[in-house]
Amino acid sequence: MAIITLSTDVGQQDFLVGAIKGQLLSQDEKHTIADITHYLSNTNYPQAAYICSNAFKYYPAGSFHVVILNFFDTSINHILVAKHNNQYIICPDNGILTLIVGEIPKEVIKLGLQDQQNLLGRTGIIAKAISYISKNAGFFKPSDTATVSIVEKYPLKPSIGLDWMEGQVLFIDNFENVVINITKEEFDEQRKERSFIILVSRNEEITTISNNYASISEGDKLAWFNSAGYLEIAMNKGRVASLFGLQGYNQNLVKTGTVTQNKWFYDTVKIFFL
């Protein structure tokens, strides 16, 4: 029996999510299956990694995290199975693993797909692999992982100067609160207890860090560090992204093919230290 999470980009309009769960339960009806999301962006990998990494860390040791993201973006004959922080991550070899983990896991293998050309054929192999691994604690051996070569991509980092730092919009939630790729640790290290100005837009500034939404009046904007420890720009009962024209990346460039997988166009938020 295993705890298995599902993070996918397939949505929930058709039968696929239910079929995948059926495959997993057919291997062991005692499996516990948890949905993280089925609406990962298949063009914005850093956003997908932000969602996955900040959910996975709350699960117990031994959990399996299945990430189905752009499964057919390139022609591959394998997926990755990695052991990290005593959990397992199973995902395509397209860079999402290192974006989630921040490095190449020390224990990672390639799992052959046996020429399966459709999603359920591939998830069926994943279901069998989870069942096998959960019953065989010594699945990973040093000889298995020493020479594995995988696709690497890494999270965006904020730009830093002596008296400023600039972060990219990492995620926009359903309330249009805007998450910036600056952690509290990075902010405090650069701030050095100085006053600051967060320049949200040309004419909009924030000069304090709030504890939560209740710290401000309705309609006021705030900056705070969210549950994941990232800087978030928000508004009490308002929509910051629309109001200030912020977006995670330029979707039009993605659609026209102007943006490559390794180059993203993000809005930025700049902080000045006084």
Least confident of 192-196, 226-230, 234-238: 234-238
What's the start-to-end Cα distance of the chain, in Å?
Answer: 55
Q: How far apart are CA 77 and CA 165, in angstroms?
A: 42
Instruction: Give the residue with greater pLDDT, 61 vs 240.
Output: 61
Contact assessment for residue 37 and residue 67, using Cβ atoms and an 8 Å cutoff: no
Q: Place 253 in a pLDDT band, splitting at 50, 70 and 90.
A: very low
Domains of the chain, with CATH numbers? 3-145 (3.40.50.10790), 159-273 (2.40.30.90)
Give the residue from 99, 158, 127 showing the smallest Cα distance to 2: 127
Phi/psi for 120 (5° steps) reads -70, -25
pLDDT higher than 90, residue 164? yes
Contact assessment for residue 111 and residue 80, using Cβ atoms and an 8 Å cutoff: yes
Give the pLDDT mean for 14-24.
Answer: 97
pLDDT higher than 90, residue 214? no
Q: How far apart are CA 270 and CA 165, in angstroms?
A: 6
